[in-house]
Chain A
């Protein structure tokens, strides 16, 4: 890539200015490293320029920062991927300076180069670099090492991988809090490269150690790793390992850190993770408290109520009665009432069934009067839905609500609707009406029975459909039996 037609004089100036007293000139030269490299050509860049820069490790921070940044994109100038490894020594030195921003940039550049390097080059050059830094005498090297494991690990052999896991574990128990903090921060990235088998054993052990560190700052950073780890583990492991940790943390008064984590877990792309958080929400509730929970989690819950995955929706529905009982009627009315109605018309049967059950439990919780105001009217409205499956749901809901609402309401409001449905054009509806009427027997009083129920059933007993006739006859027999024992 050397271009012979580059003017020489300016290049000479640039090179000399690399060592000028004036920092602005040095900075300027460092930022034009690519120009110098192109003038020198790939071989001379490798053999002269890079070693020259390697010696330049005690310059001002600004200059070192610029150098770290330039080296990150220098692969083309040293002759391509084949020679990428020559860029590692100067960056390794920059990883050990005590100015944090320079170290961070050097680590970033190393990661950028490492992610492009070929596997055998990584094994030959990158992994030994990581091991050297991790064994560094000064904490600065060890802090930087933590940020490089996620690049080194995937290309390593089984033996090396085991070694790298051990080294990372040691870094998490380093004497210096700065190293432990760095290990904590990078745990999520590293864990993402580790195989599931070792995740559960090695990585979770590291995580638990970090969550019990003396230093507040280390534990706090570990908590942030919760979310990342949660995504990687199987749901049951998530519950088994991560949630207990979260419970401990909440008692640790570091609660402000938890909510964002919960929220991020609730929005996780894997439905299983979302599912598990929801299924443990009552535990969470004990820890966080209902007010905080409802304020912060409610939007997330509402979102999940419309989740694509029906099991997630199901889990939310099953949680609703608990939420309702703890938040109280007013809160429920505002936010969740509409949702509950919506679920009755969900595409998935299990959801509809659960939604009907949900209404029953809510009626039990808040009482018939409340239910009469907030549930029954809406339910009854839906009875005219054109799709028969939804009419079935309503029927089911009515049958569930009846025992809770009591005789009077059943007779006055629910029974008429059921009788109307007896004339539904779909046979399935009609025979379910018969079943529902049978279930009404203990609830409805005798006069109603004779006046309304029996005539209806008698009519259904003459139905063209064999199932309708069967079930209505059964219902009539049941009524007779009750009449006899009465």
Chain B
């Protein structure tokens, strides 16, 4: 089972087409900071998509095109016919996941920005997901709830307050009169139709009936996993046992049980005794997709550690270390910074890991090592500009990466709202560049070089790409996700969500 999904095959480059866009900015419209998308995640089936933004909201999308002329889309795919429709999603619901908070002890603001979203096991037609900001993880349940309208109550206006004490009478109903503990008389203060009950007796007691059955989507926070991290949470990951998950911050990784929010186990602690000795922090962590005891975490020094939970309770020593030894002579002042891994992902079969550092994508085989088995240059033309990128802090941007469900391709984002798709199967030279617009392949058409820095507009921070086109460092495509079973990519260009299919 392990690695079957990752069998290498030579394949043709994919032809990407635009599918949909959500939240597209009109020309000239300013982007609201709070609307900028900060997390994207498909669920296991690929029928739902969740996005999180800087304002702490989570928006859910649902696939609509499941049925194609009566035959299910998957059946069509199996028969290798092209579907007449391309994958389409529609907006389903949204909810406010996190609110901004203030840590009074440290006098620090805690941003509500959603750092990561991870889907959990579906149950009973409800969707479950974990969302996290810098400090707190929340477990959300989204479900269609029936809004029941009740009618036919026993009493016209059921009393809102409980009446203290009941006077017990052994009277037969016909002589029953309303009695109150304070001895008040029958003035019908509650519009109680005493005549009704007293005349018809006990047989009139009945149960209220439900009339309307409207449904609406309701999101409820079922659990809050808080106060377990001193530093900013950068990752969460569900375990294959569907019972536990990890959360990782700069120095520690904690193991939680979904049912228990009051405590967690610390399994990795990289905090040195003397903080001045700190040289390396944790940047990303993920559980192996099928081995419930194995997880990987990446560091700011470009290494990935594989740890086995069965070895010991505190897994500070790794069972396997992956890192690339840099060729001597190619080291520069920026080598350390650009080697920091910003994201790691396991392939579906669990045999391979994909990592993203500032300049490249690297593929690692967990059975081999310690170096990567493949390296893809994402935006090599930026290498001469590292100095500028350092000065405007762009060198610290954290790009995400993703693998296709069949393990044959990988994708990651870059600047100017570009994302790149590489073929990672044996012998593949596929390297596609697409822009997050309605016309994704626009960039592949040669355009004459233009001046990019207009006088007085240095703050735009542009740079040259291979074609000499303007390269906008403010439009960075950090977040993207690949559909689990189809060649469909969702990516975020600031506040807009673009979807492409091939």
Chain A interfacial positions (CB closer than 8 Å to B): 4-5, 7-13, 15-20, 22, 25, 28, 39-40, 48-49, 52, 55, 58, 96-98, 100, 138-140, 176-178, 181, 214-217, 253
CB interface residues, B 98-152, toward A, < 8 Å = 121-126, 141, 145-146, 148, 150
- Contact between A12 and B207, CB atoms less than 8 A apart: no
Indicate whether B29 reaches chain A with its CB closer than 8 angstroms.
Answer: no
Closest CB in chain B relative to A318 CB, distance in Å: 37
Residue in contact with B243 in the complex, picked from A8, A10, A39, A178, CB distance below 8 Å: A178
Closest CB in chain A relative to B218 CB, distance in Å: 10
- Contact between B173 and A215, CB atoms less than 8 A apart: no
In the complex, besides A4-B173, A25-B162, 17 extra interface pairs with C-beta distance below 8 angstroms are A7-B168, A8-B202, A9-B176, A11-B205, A12-B154, A12-B155, A12-B197, A13-B154, A13-B155, A13-B158, A17-B158, A18-B207, A58-B146, A139-B121, A176-B121, A215-B241, A216-B310
Residue in contact with A217 in the complex, picked from B162, B202, B210, B292, CB distance below 8 Å: B292
Q: Within 8 Å CB of A12, what residues of B?
A: 154-155, 197, 205
Q: Within 8 Å CB of B172, what residues of A?
A: 4-5
Indicate whether B444 reaches chain A with its CB closer than 8 angstroms.
Answer: no
A sample of 7 cross-chain residue pairs with beta-carbon separation below 8 angstroms, ordered by A number, consists of A13-B154, A18-B208, A19-B150, A19-B208, A39-B205, A139-B123, A140-B124
- Contact between A217 and B241, CB atoms less than 8 A apart: yes
- Contact between B240 and A215, CB atoms less than 8 A apart: yes
- Contact between A15 and B290, CB atoms less than 8 A apart: no
Measured CB to CB, the nearest residue on chain B to A98 is B123
Complex interface bits, B291-307 against A, C-beta within 8 A gives 1, otherwise 0: 11100000000000000
Closest CB in chain A relative to B270 CB, distance in Å: 24
- How far, in angstroms, from A98 to B143 measured CA to CA in the complex? 12
Indicate whether B259 reaches chain A with its CB closer than 8 angstroms.
Answer: yes
- How far, in angstroms, from A18 to B208 measured CA to CA in the complex? 9
> Max chain B CB contacts within 10 Å: which of A8, A10, A11?
A8
Indicate whether B192 reaches chain A with its CB closer than 8 angstroms.
Answer: yes
- How far, in angstroms, from A181 to B240 measured CA to CA in the complex? 13
> Max chain A CB contacts within 10 Å: which of B205, B240, B293, B310?
B205
Residue in contact with A177 in the complex, picked from B122, B171, B242, CB distance below 8 Å: B242
Residue in contact with B210 in the complex, picked from A55, A100, A178, A181, CB distance below 8 Å: A55
Interface of A is mostly: helix
Residue in contact with A16 in the complex, picked from B121, B155, B293, CB distance below 8 Å: B155
Measured CB to CB, the nearest residue on chain B to A254 is B310
- How far, in angstroms, from A56 to B21 measured CA to CA in the complex? 40
Chain B interface bracket (under 10, 10 to 19, 20 to 34, 35 or more): 35 or more
Residue in contact with B202 in the complex, picked from A4, A96, A140, A214, CB distance below 8 Å: A4
Residue in contact with A214 in the complex, picked from B176, B206, B242, B292, CB distance below 8 Å: B292
Indicate whether B32 reaches chain A with its CB closer than 8 angstroms.
Answer: no
Closest CB in chain A relative to B187 CB, distance in Å: 15
- Contact between B124 and A96, CB atoms less than 8 A apart: yes
- Contact between B241 and A8, CB atoms less than 8 A apart: no
- How far, in angstroms, from A17 to B150 measured CA to CA in the complex? 11
Q: Within 8 Å CB of B266, what residues of A?
A: none
CB interface residues, B 162-206, toward A, < 8 Å = 162-163, 166-173, 176, 178, 192, 197, 201-202, 205-206
Q: Within 8 Å CB of A8, what residues of B?
A: 173, 176, 197, 201-202, 205
Measured CB to CB, the nearest residue on chain B to A19 is B150
Residue in contact with A138 in the complex, picked from B123, B160, B192, B208, CB distance below 8 Å: B123
Closest CB in chain B relative to A71 CB, distance in Å: 16
Sorted nearest first, the 8 A-B pairs with minimum C-beta distance are A12-B154, A16-B158, A10-B166, A5-B170, A98-B123, A52-B207, A16-B153, A177-B241
- Contact between A253 and B310, CB atoms less than 8 A apart: yes
Indicate whether B159 reaches chain A with its CB closer than 8 angstroms.
Answer: yes
Measured CB to CB, the nearest residue on chain A to B1 is A214
Closest CB in chain B relative to A177 CB, distance in Å: 5
- How far, in angstroms, from A98 to B210 measured CA to CA in the complex? 24
Q: Within 8 Å CB of A96, what residues of B?
A: 124
- How far, in angstroms, from A163 to B121 measured CA to CA in the complex? 29
- How far, in angstroms, from A376 to B173 measured CA to CA in the complex? 94
Q: Within 8 Å CB of A98, what residues of B?
A: 123-124, 126, 141
Measured CB to CB, the nearest residue on chain B to A253 is B310
Measured CB to CB, the nearest residue on chain A to B125 is A138
- Contact between B205 and A40, CB atoms less than 8 A apart: yes
Closest CB in chain A relative to B434 CB, distance in Å: 36
Closest CB in chain A relative to B443 CB, distance in Å: 44
Q: Within 8 Å CB of A217, what residues of B?
A: 241, 243, 292
- How far, in angstroms, from A444 to B242 measured CA to CA in the complex? 76
- Contact between B243 and A177, CB atoms less than 8 A apart: yes
Complex interface bits, B218-260 against A, C-beta within 8 A gives 1, otherwise 0: 0000000000000000000000111100000000000000010
- Contact between A7 and B166, CB atoms less than 8 A apart: yes
- How far, in angstroms, from A52 to B150 measured CA to CA in the complex? 12
Measured CB to CB, the nearest residue on chain A to B159 is A13
Q: Within 8 Å CB of A20, what residues of B?
A: 158
- Contact between B206 and A48, CB atoms less than 8 A apart: yes
Q: Within 8 Å CB of A216, what residues of B?
A: 241, 292-293, 310
Residue in contact with A9 in the complex, picked from B125, B192, B242, CB distance below 8 Å: B192
Q: Within 8 Å CB of A178, what residues of B?
A: 121, 242-243
Closest CB in chain A relative to B23 CB, distance in Å: 32
Q: Within 8 Å CB of A214, what residues of B?
A: 290-292
- How far, in angstroms, from A96 to B124 measured CA to CA in the complex? 8
Q: Within 8 Å CB of A181, what residues of B?
A: 243
Closest CB in chain A relative to B179 CB, distance in Å: 8
- How far, in angstroms, from A55 to B209 measured CA to CA in the complex? 10
Closest CB in chain A relative to B257 CB, distance in Å: 10
A4-B172, A140-B123 in contact; A58/B243 too (CB < 8 A)?
Answer: no
- How far, in angstroms, from A13 to B172 measured CA to CA in the complex? 19
Q: Within 8 Å CB of A176, what residues of B?
A: 121, 242
Q: Within 8 Å CB of B153, what residues of A?
A: 16, 19
- Contact between B178 and A9, CB atoms less than 8 A apart: yes
A48-B206, A138-B124, A140-B124 in contact; A177/B240 too (CB < 8 A)?
Answer: yes
> Max chain B CB contacts within 10 Å: which of A16, A17, A253?
A16
Measured CB to CB, the nearest residue on chain A to B309 is A216
Closest CB in chain A relative to B319 CB, distance in Å: 13
Closest CB in chain B relative to A3 CB, distance in Å: 10
Measured CB to CB, the nearest residue on chain A to B157 is A16
- How far, in angstroms, from A176 to B121 measured CA to CA in the complex? 9
> Max chain A CB contacts within 10 Å: which of B124, B153, B178, B243?
B124
- How far, in angstroms, from A100 to B258 measured CA to CA in the complex? 11
- How far, in angstroms, from A35 to B162 measured CA to CA in the complex? 16
Measured CB to CB, the nearest residue on chain B to A96 is B124
Q: Within 8 Å CB of B162, what residues of A?
A: 25, 28
- Contact between A58 and B241, CB atoms less than 8 A apart: no
Q: Within 8 Å CB of A16, what residues of B?
A: 153-155, 158, 208
A4-B172, A9-B178 in contact; A100/B259 too (CB < 8 A)?
Answer: yes
- How far, in angstroms, from A5 to B170 measured CA to CA in the complex? 5
- Contact between B205 and A15, CB atoms less than 8 A apart: yes
